[in-house]
Structure 1
Amino acid sequence: MKVLIASDSHGLTHELTNLVERYRDDVQLFIHCGDSELPGSSEEMTSFHAVKGNCDSPSSGYPDDLIKTVGGFKLFVTHGHLYNIKMSPVNLLYKAEETGADIVCFGHTHHAVTFQEGKKIFINPGSLRLPRGMNEKTYVICEINNDKKEVNVNYFNQNGEPVESLSKKYVLA
């Protein structure tokens, strides 16, 4: 199973449409980790399972958090601002424990990063509009193989080119 994860697009429309068109036949789930700054009913967001970020309108129609099960793995999706992610991942780790999540998808910091804490994988796809800590505008395609208990977190720039330096493979045995 493949999941496309994007975040912090801050009003971009063409880029979101391009992602859906590019991966429509290859990805089973599209996730947006907040700060799209678009209404949930907008055409650009209809393919995405999205959460509300701190820059999204209260009337956007997005939940603060959501949980999806993909390929036998439970994904917890949030923007991160409600868990003080800019200070520490600890609150998000506690929430992952509480929800039983295997993979935590978040945004807010605009820093593209993935890491593992215990048996939990954390993924911040970076920002499609305003990356921090690097020049690449990024998103992630997460490949989940439940049989092998493998999760491949593959980063790409806005042109669909791999960003190997950020990509990682995890084995959850």
Structure 2
Amino acid sequence: MKILVVSDTHRRISSLIKTVENEKFDKLFFLGDDVEDGEEIANRLNIIEKYIVRGNGDFYANYPDKIVVEILGHRMLLVHGHKENVKLDLKQLMVLAKKENAESVFFGHTHIALIDRVENILFLNPGSTTFPRGMDYKKTFAVLDVTKEHIWADIRNISK
């Protein structure tokens, strides 16, 4: 199963769409800051199953702050990260992940791409497709390959 993971698009998605338009995704994880972009990405890429959480820039959006989803036996937590103070560290996010029995956590907010494993929990931030920080300031998103046996994550650069 192939999952597109995106965050912090801030109403600019055309470069992302051009980069991935020839790929097929089974699901979309949109991690906030302009939830309307998540809907448009799903529509334009024909991704039927989407999980969208609200970010700190989505003041009036009627979307949840967190989603816990189980895919092929893997329990996953999706948040934007602002309520868990991810700009400081991942401690609050770790507490929430353990509380939710999540084996992987997907978050945004920092605009810095990250893949890390702490205490056997996968932490992934796809960075930002619009206003990147870190990673030499490259615009990024992530792609997951999920099977019953594993979750493989890759941070990719916007190429077009």
Of structures 1 and 2, the one scoring higher in RCO (CA 8 A, sep 6+) is 2
Gaps of 5+ in 2: none
The size of the alignment, in residue pairs, is 154
Identity of aligned residues (%): 31
Aligned residue type for 1:72:
G
Aligned residue type for 2:156:
F
State the Cα distance separating 1:32 from its structure 2 match. 0.8
CA RMSD of aligned residues (A): 2.1
State the Cα distance separating 1:31 from its structure 2 match. 0.7
Aligned residue type for 2:28:
F
Aligned pair partner of 1:49 in 48, 51, 57: 51
Aligned residue type for 1:7:
S
**Paired residue for 1:32?**
30
State the Cα distance separating 1:21 from its structure 2 match. 3.4
State the alpha-carbon separation in 2 of the partners of residues 39 and 145 from structure 1: 27
Aligned residue type for 1:95:
L
Gaps of 5+ in 1: 161-173
**Paired residue for 2:138?**
136
State the Cα distance separating 1:84 from its structure 2 match. 0.7
The reply on whether 1:100 has 2:101 as its aligned counterpart is yes
State the alpha-carbon separation in 1 of the partners of residues 67 and 74 from structure 2: 14
**Residues 36-81 of structure 1: CA deviation (Å, up to 9, x unaligned):** 26377x54455442111111132x2221011121221111000000
Instruction: Label 1:75 to 1:22 Cα distance change in 2 as closer, same or farther (>3 A).
Output: farther
**Residues 6-26 of structure 1: CA deviation (Å, up to 9, x unaligned):** 101011142454466333x3x
**Paired residue for 1:158?**
158
- 8 Å contact kept, 1:39–1:61: no
Aligned residue type for 2:72:
G
Q: What SS does the corresponding residue of 2:154 show, helix, strand or coil? A: strand
State the alpha-carbon separation in 2 of the partners of residues 91 and 73 from structure 1: 21
Instruction: Determine which structure has the larger helix proportion and give its number.
Output: 2
Aligned residue type for 2:106:
C
**Paired residue for 2:73?**
72
- 8 Å contact kept, 2:126–2:142: yes
**Paired residue for 1:5?**
5
State the alpha-carbon separation in 2 of the partners of residues 18 and 36 from structure 1: 19
- 8 Å contact kept, 2:31–2:52: yes
